[in-house]
Amino acid sequence: MGLAERRATKTFQDKSFPALKADIEKMAGFPVALEINWEQLAKESYADSFEESWRKVYFVPVLDALKSICRDELGKEALKAGLKKIVFCNTKDTYSAESAISFTGGELTIDHDPCTNVDYVKDRADVVLKVLEKGL
């Protein structure tokens, strides 16, 4: 990760991440452990797009799915009992929601290329919702 990527990552971590984490916890109704592999998300030569792409690829789909799940007490209780951690990473440059999103052992993982299919937010949100509903 070069200097531009480190700067953009630090800016995101300091300015955007705290509010996004708070939004996830507010929507879920409990503190949710987040594991983010920043080095994998910080693709070289894409520093200018981190703010937009990380929101759209990782955070907004989770928030949209949590909004649907937590619309009633049954969903809130199931989420609190079943969701242990959310992981954002890019280990295999996957760009398809179906291939990138999983929920196993209480761990929701979005293992998606951070710079590909960025605007397919609804597709990712739908898959997050589907895997959570099936696994909870």
pLDDT at 30: 97
Q: What DSSP designation does 91 have?
A: S
How many other CB atoms are found less than 10 A from the CB of residue 79?
20
Cα–Cα distances in angstroms (integers) from residue 91 to residues 31, 41, 71, 79, in the given order: 26, 9, 32, 26
On average, the pLDDT of the chain sits at 97
For residue 104, list its beta bridge partners. Answer: 107
Is 85 in a helix, a strand, or coil? strand
> pTM of the prediction?
0.96
Arithmetic mean of pLDDT, 120-136: 98
